[in-house]
Amino acid sequence: MGWGGGRVLRDRNVLFYLSGVVVSGFGSSAMALAAGVWAKSLTGSDSLAALTTFCVWAPILFGPLIGTLADRARRRPLLIWTNLGMAAVLLPLLTVHSSDQIWILFAVLIVYGTSSVLLDAAEAALVATAVPERLRGDFNGLRMTANEGMKLVAPLLGAFLFVQFGGTAVALLDAFTFVFAAIAFALIRVSEPVPHPAKAQRWSAQAVEGIRYLRHHPVLWRLVLAGAATMGVAGLNGASVYAVVDTGLHRPPAFAGVLYAAQGIGSVVIGLFAGALLRRMPERVFAAAGIILFAVGVALRVIPSEPVVLLASAMIGAGLPCVLIAALTAVQRESPDNLLGRVAATANTLLYAPNAVALAAGAGLLVVVDHRVLLLVAGAAAAIAAIGCLLGSRGRTPVAATDLGESDRVENQDSEDVTS
């Protein structure tokens, strides 16, 4: 099958790119945990602690609009200055020492979440320019491996720093990682033309162009819909994890960390081999196989056995990233450069927003529904998503790049094209 990771890491641009993403992701993972603990320690409120996560995730709902900026500027300078800007934005957190100043934390986290959406869109677009097409599957897999690996280590460091030195230490660490990422992106060698967006075109019209392209592309739309459904199921699965630990396994809540670790290991492993697998099969087949693995893992969690549940967690970790890697790789290949930032941001919104919604819905459903029933239904729903990913999409063709970029066509397009 051939592992392409070695070839990927020999590419100079890939090496600097991954270095920036990994280090920045390390800081972000540490900050994600510390923010909630910080809010809880200052206010004593569980709801305010939970609100920190909402502040980071909420901007993804505006992905199509935020992603427009990634198509209005050269991506490498945008990544450099955005990372440097975030390092500066984190500095006000050094003044947060009491509950009266908690608003500063929330304000910073909203900017944090907005910049994350922008960085993801610009990074996806830059990959299409800086990374050869034959290496993108391997690259996206390695990036997933690196991100999941950071999630296994960074929260522990974040918790240690917070306990020993307080939240300001975590903020400084995160600021340093943003500066490191900016330097790494500055070292990438890539030739980018200066974009020339239509001056009369509104931001909303430009955002719609990305939505339209994604909606009318048979390959991308099917992959993104399957991914959105799977991430929704993942939200239901995530909401039930403490019920599995408590009611199913009769273990203390802290045992959930063991399950998350097993899930992370599964994600790390699949990321290493994603590129090789994508060279052997179409993206939709790779995605569907991963979703099936994920579905089986979710269903197996109903069995009250620690070895089975640990295996199920590893299966979930290995299966879930497949559709995300496949969708991102397809977006980078199929989207025209002048739309790539918007298409990537729109895809990310559709992929990740259902997870947050389903987490909240799952928490409510667990009050009235046995967690085993919820998991079995979730597993079945994921299996249906896998089937939908494999089914063809006839009678629909991609929107040609030449049909986009004209504000009058976008604004006069039948609303059914956007909302159907």
Does residue 390 lie in a domain region? Answer: yes
Both 150 and 240 in a single domain?
Answer: no
Task: Dig out the tokens for 326 from the structure.
Answer: 């496949």
Both 166 and 240 in a single domain?
Answer: no
Both 114 and 250 in a single domain?
Answer: no
Does residue 351 lie in a domain region? Answer: yes
pLDDT value, residue 110: 92
pLDDT value, residue 196: 60
Pairwise CA distance, residues 332 & 354, whole Å: 22
- Predicted TM-score (pTM) of the model is 0.72
Both 59 and 95 in a single domain?
Answer: yes
Q: List the end-to-end C-alpha distance of the chain, in Å, as a whole number.
A: 40
Q: In the listed set 196, 227, 259, which residue is the last one of a domain according to the structure?
A: 196
Does residue 408 carry a pLDDT above 50? no
35 or 82, higher pLDDT: 82
pLDDT value, residue 395: 36
- Burial of 260 per CB tally in 10 Å (0-12, 13-18, 19+): middle
Both 178 and 31 in a single domain?
Answer: yes
pLDDT value, residue 199: 52
Does residue 408 lie in a domain region? Answer: no
Average pLDDT over residues 159-178: 88
Q: In the listed set 196, 230, 252, which residue is the last one of a domain according to the structure?
A: 196
Residue 62: pLDDT band (50, 70, 90) is confident
Both 369 and 233 in a single domain?
Answer: yes
Q: Of 92-106, 190-204, 246-260, 292-306, which range is least confident?
A: 190-204
Pairwise CA distance, residues 359 & 412, whole Å: 37
- Burial of 420 per CB tally in 10 Å (0-12, 13-18, 19+): exposed
Both 243 and 367 in a single domain?
Answer: yes
Does residue 411 lie in a domain region? Answer: no
Pairwise CA distance, residues 328 & 345, whole Å: 10
Does residue 97 carry a pLDDT above 80? yes
Average pLDDT over residues 159-173: 87
Supply angle C-alpha 355, 66, 323, rounded to 5.
35
pLDDT value, residue 304: 93
Residue 400 one-letter amino acid: A
Both 158 and 287 in a single domain?
Answer: no
45 or 74, higher pLDDT: 74
Both 83 and 131 in a single domain?
Answer: yes
The dihedral over CA atoms of 116, 117, 120, 126, expressed in degrees to the nearest 10, equals: -110
Both 189 and 224 in a single domain?
Answer: no
Does residue 203 lie in a domain region? Answer: no
Both 131 and 260 in a single domain?
Answer: no
Domain count along the chain: 2
The dihedral over CA atoms of 256, 260, 265, 266, expressed in degrees to the nearest 10, equals: 110
CATH, residue 164: 1.20.1250.20
pLDDT value, residue 404: 39
222 or 197, higher pLDDT: 222
- The residue length of the chain stands at 420
53 or 375, higher pLDDT: 375
Q: Of 126-140, 160-174, 178-192, 271-285, which range is least confident?
A: 126-140
Task: Dig out the tokens for 35 from the structure.
Answer: 């923010």
Both 70 and 28 in a single domain?
Answer: yes
Task: Dig out the tokens for 40 from the structure.
Answer: 């809880």
Selection from 147, 131, 140, 137 nearest residue 1 by Cα: 137
Pairwise CA distance, residues 237 & 230, whole Å: 10
Average pLDDT over residues 328-349: 85
Does residue 420 lie in a domain region? Answer: no
Does residue 184 lie in a domain region? Answer: yes
- Burial of 106 per CB tally in 10 Å (0-12, 13-18, 19+): middle
Percent of the chain with pLDDT over 70: 86
Largest CA distance in the chain: 62
Residue 211 one-letter amino acid: I
Pairwise CA distance, residues 197 & 205, whole Å: 12
pLDDT value, residue 103: 92
pLDDT value, residue 409: 36
Phi-psi map region of 414: left, alpha, beta (phi>0 left; psi -120 to 50 alpha): beta
pLDDT value, residue 122: 86
**Over the stretch 361-397, which tens digit does the pLDDT of each residue have?**
887 888 888 889 999 999 999 999 999 888 754 433 3
Residue range(s) defining the domain that contains residue 113? 1-196
